[in-house]
Amino acid sequence: MTTLSILDLVRVTEDTDARGALDNARDIAVHAEAWGYRRIWVAEHHNMAGIASAATSVVIGHIAAGTKTIRVGAGGIMLPNHAPYVIAEQFGTLARLFPGRIDLGLGRAPGTDQLTLRIAPYARSGRKLPAGRSRSAGLSGSSRSQSAHPGGAGGGNGSAVVDSRIE
């Protein structure tokens, strides 16, 4: 049997706001779990009005809280945007809350717009931002490499998946 997984952008539509998009992502996960899907991953995107998955670890917690068995994870936390230690703490906490169900995909590309790219180093370093800029929130992380994509297939873009089980 083929293992099926979903990568969700948590899209804001004409019929939803960000809260509605988050609830829709959770509903998709509930249905996917019932249909036998193995994983649902959330894509990290920042500063995009049409996508509500900027705080990826928070979105993962929301989805995991509404499901029972499906693995929930990040389809790529871009480490240049975050302090790796914060990512590890967030995903370690998710792994404790939802044992055996949390995945972490890591990437090395900034994967963001120019404004967020300029702000990210300040968020990581704790330095004061220049006047007129606001701070961008960081996201998720963990240990143990597993694969590059939700279904277990390898990828060639410098990303990796981390199984967040704590031993």
- Of the CA atoms within 13 Å of residue 74, those in its CB half-sphere come to 34
| pTM of the entire predicted model | 0.70
Per-residue pLDDT of the chain (167 residues; tens, 9 = 90+): 788 899 999 999 999 999 999 999 999 999 999 999 999 999 988 878 899 998 999 999 999 999 999 999 998 888 878 888 999 999 999 999 999 999 999 887 765 566 666 666 655 555 554 454 433 333 333 333 333 333 333 333 344 444 444 33
DSSP string, 60-125: HHHHHHT-SSSEEEEEEEEGGGS-HHHHHHHHHHHHHHSTT-EEEEEE-S--S-HHHHHHHHHHHH
How far is it, in rounded angstroms, from Cα 73 to Cα 59? Answer: 9
CATH label, 5-163, candidates 3.20.20.30, 3.40.30.10, 3.10.290.10, 3.40.50.720: 3.20.20.30
Tens of pLDDT, residues 98-118:
999 999 998 877 655 666 666
CB atoms within 10 A of CB 47: 14
Of 136, 111, 106, which Cα lies nearest the Cα of 122?
Answer: 136
